[in-house]
């Protein structure tokens, strides 16, 4: 009981000390002349700018300054808006990756009549002599995943291996040297695609999404065309993504729209 009272007393003392500190601080500030206060603000601003240049790199931030005609306040708000823009498209890109991966897995499982195709094909098409020039990329990706799981003491299953693969692994199935060995199976996941779309055009769209995804993850500027504020590119990527989703399964589109806030963030960014 005494220990509790002592603890409560200590808390109240700390609270009153904090109030005293705030009061003293306010008194000290009020006693400064307007010039001194302005000097203090200027030093703080300068210090923040130094930190910005040090940790975010001057060339990266300069692009925002150029786009806002050296208006430091607008540049800062535009930089923050670009981060929020990246946040807005990230969910639909990651969910598209899940849909693409699972669709390809279903297709390949059916083609090989093997639920463990991703493990067993290390000794199948993935080791074909024609793949030597690519250094057996698919096979090495699977082996790397298996080694990683072993080191972490996690049992190796097809599900674990599938979820462990990068977007690059799944896109590689559309490259000619892999595509021909598996009878062109990957394109069949896009059952609703226009007849004008083929392996090359599909791969080009997927690769554009992958490259854009990488830029999002590295917090690169997404709101420029040259030195001008422009969100055309992100809208084009978003449109391509929706087309690909609809070509796989149109009924998935409402789900994606439900987690999509790109238009709202673009509108906010363009008001800066």
Note the pLDDT tens digit of each residue in 33-58. Answer: 455 545 544 544 554 667 766 666 67
- Round to whole Å and give the CA distance between 51 and 34: 26
Which residues have CB under 8 Å from 44's CB, separation 6+? none
pLDDT for 147-171, tens place per residue?
999 999 999 999 999 999 999 999 9
pLDDT for 52-107, tens place per residue?
666 666 777 899 999 999 998 999 999 999 999 999 999 999 999 999 999 999 99
Is 70 exceeded by the pLDDT of residue 217? Answer: yes
206 class by beta-carbon count within 10 Å (0-12 exposed, 13-18 middle, 19+ buried): buried
Query: How many Å from the N-terminal Cα to the C-terminal Cα in the chain?
Result: 58
CA dihedral 103, 104, 106, 107 (to 10 degrees): 120
Lowest mean pLDDT among 61-70, 142-151, 258-267: 61-70
82 class by beta-carbon count within 10 Å (0-12 exposed, 13-18 middle, 19+ buried): buried
- The residue among 256 and 55 whose pLDDT is bigger is 256
Helical axes 34-56 vs 58-67, angle rounded to 10°: 120
């Amino acid at each position: 009981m005494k220990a509790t009272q002592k603890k409560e007393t200590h808390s109240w003392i700390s609270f009153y000390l904090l109030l005293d500190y705030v009061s003293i601080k306010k008194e000290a500030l009020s006693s400064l002349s307007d010039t001194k206060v302005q000097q203090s603000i200027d030093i703080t601003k300068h210090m923040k700018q130094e930190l910005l240049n040090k940790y975010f790199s001057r060339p990266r931030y300069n692009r925002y300054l150029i786009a806002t005609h050296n208006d430091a306040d607008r540049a800062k708000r535009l930089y923050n808006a670009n981060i929020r823009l990246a946040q807005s498209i990230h969910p639909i890109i990651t969910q598209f990756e899940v849909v693409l991966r699972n669709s390809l897995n279903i297709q390949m499982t059916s083609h090989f009549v093997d639920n463990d195709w991703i493990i067993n094909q290390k000794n199948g098409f993935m080791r074909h002599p024609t793949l030597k020039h690519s250094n057996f990329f698919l096979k090495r990706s699977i082996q790397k995943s298996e080694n990683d799981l072993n080191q972490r003491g996690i049992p190796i299953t097809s599900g674990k291996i599938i979820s462990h693969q990068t977007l690059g692994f799944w896109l590689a199935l559309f490259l000619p040297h892999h595509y021909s060995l598996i009878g062109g199976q990957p394109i069949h996941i896009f059952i609703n695609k226009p007849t004008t779309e083929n392996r090359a055009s599909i791969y080009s769209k997927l690769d554009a999404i992958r490259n854009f995804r990488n830029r999002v993850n590295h917090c690169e500027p997404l709101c420029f065309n040259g030195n001008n504020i422009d969100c055309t590119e992100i809208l084009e990527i978003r449109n391509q993504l929706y087309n690909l989703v609809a070509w796989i399964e149109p009924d998935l589109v409402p789900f994606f729209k439900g987690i999509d806030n790109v238009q709202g963030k673009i509108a906010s960014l363009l008001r800066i």
